Structure 1
Amino acid sequence: MSDAEFTDFVTHRSPALLRTAYLLCGGDRGAAEDLLQEVLERVFPRWRRIRERPEAYVRAALVNAATNRWRHRSRRVSESPLEWDLAHPQLPGPEQRVADRELVVQALAALPARMRAVIVLRFFDDLTERDTAEALRCGVGTVKSQTSRGLARLRELIDAATAEDPHPTTSRSI
């Protein structure tokens, strides 16, 4: 009985949870897939206990696991991400949205892990302040202040990236 419920949950919620993991991992899809897989493996034995609110539990576990990855990352050999050249002329249509998305993902990756988690849960997962606070095990006031500071920092990062580029790839929509 619980195996089928768990399978159904994974089948239907994995795309949204993978998006959350992707953003928490700073745009590294491989790390996001690994992170989600690790979390789902840890959740399965606890399924009977958490099946009433599994998504909230899994989101909190993703945030915690992502934070732990960043802590342990400093002990590993540093990896160099592939750089995407943002110095392209203005791109038309769907290509522009891809460039904008890359810029936002890069800016998110530059935020501290906790601040990134608040921004991802609030705006990409569309959680309320209270649900975000519950997922992160903190107060609503902390979520509010981290949201405010995080959005301000994202604006700074995006403005700095577009100032370096003579042909900005994004408008100030954050």
Structure 2
Amino acid sequence: MSWDAEFTQYFDRCADSMRFTAYLLCGNHHEAEDVVQAAFLKLYLAGPKLVQREGLDAYLRRIVVRTFLAERRRVRWRREKLSEALPEVPVGAGLSEDKLVVWRALSTVPARQRAVLVLRYWHDLGVEETAAALQCSVGTVKSNASRGLKTLRQKLGPTFGELWQEVSPNA
């Protein structure tokens, strides 16, 4: 099968999942679309050189996260300011009220910490896998996860204690 056909099938299979991952990272649909488009372009260009195709999901997820982080560093001066208006709600995500509140709080966590939280708790990656995806040390992942969870706890308040015990029993 040619790379074009293989890429088309792969895109059809996982584009929605990557869009939602990017949306969790970015906090808005437009930026998420840009991140995913750039990530798929990078994957498409690298595809013919890739020997192993089994790890494409992890490789693409890594590209999405790294593209998001690079974009955050590049346009730091353009970053949106916090306002009283609520952020966009994921369309069709079927979020309960608790999940929506957690999602909104997640959008206030710094980008690197948010990337760690999304990979660790949304994609259920281990510490080592998350470190590999972000090309950082295991200690950096642990400290960013700890700081990110602390920030979320502060934003959410004491009423979400039971939820956090389910998500992070050791925290």
- Give TM-score, length-normalised by structure 2: 0.78
| 1: CA distance, partners of 2:29 / 2:14 | 17
The CA distance in 2 between the partners of 1:130 and 1:77, in whole Å, is 30
Distance 2:64 2:78 in 1: 20
- Aligned residue number for residue 33 of structure 2: 33
Task: Give the 5 Å matches for 1:61-140.
Answer: 61-76=63-78, 78=80, 83-84=85-86, 97=96, 99-140=97-138
Q: 1:77 to 1:122 in 2, by over 3 A?
A: closer
Shift of 1:132: 0.8
In 2: Cα distance, 1:80 partner to 1:133 partner: 29
Say whether residues 1:53 and 2:51 are aligned partners: no
Task: Supply the distance in 2 between the matched residues of 1:9 and 1:81 (Cα, whole angstroms).
Answer: 38
How many residues of Structure 1 are paired with residues of Structure 2 in the alignment?
155
Worse-matched range after superposition: 28-37 or 69-78: 69-78
Partner AA of 2:13 in structure 1: H
CA distance in 2 between partners of 1:124 and 1:49 (Å): 30
User: Using CA pairs below 8 Å that are at least 6 residues apart, which structure has the higher relative contact order?
Assistant: 1
Q: Alignment RMSD, CA only? A: 2.6
Q: Distance in 1 between matches of 2:79 and 2:112?
A: 23
1:173 aligns to what SS in structure 2?
Answer: helix
**Partner SS, residue 75 of structure 1:** helix
- Asked which structure has the greater CA Rg, the reply is 1
Residue ranges of structure 2 left out of the alignment (5+ in a row): 88-93, 165-171
Cα distance in 2 for residues equivalent to 1:34 and 1:49: 24
Tell me the alpha carbon deviations over residues 45-65 of structure 1, each in whole angstroms, 9 at most, x when there is no partner: 101233342222211211121
Is the 1:115–1:147 Cα contact (8 Å) retained in structure 2? yes
> What is the CA deviation profile of residues 118-155 of structure 1, one whole-angstrom value per residue up to 9, with x for unaligned ones?
00001111112111111000122221222222112211
Instruction: Name structure 1 gaps, 5 residues minimum.
Output: 86-94, 163-169
Range that drifts further, 74-83 or 59-68: 74-83
1:158 counterpart residue number: 156
Alpha-carbon distance in 1 for matches of 2:95, 2:9: 36
Q: Normalising by the residue count of structure 1, what TM-score does the alignment of the two structures yield?
A: 0.77
User: Residue 89 of structure 1 corresponds to which residue in structure 2?
Assistant: none
Q: Output the CA distance in 1 between the equivalents of 2:144 and 2:63.
A: 19
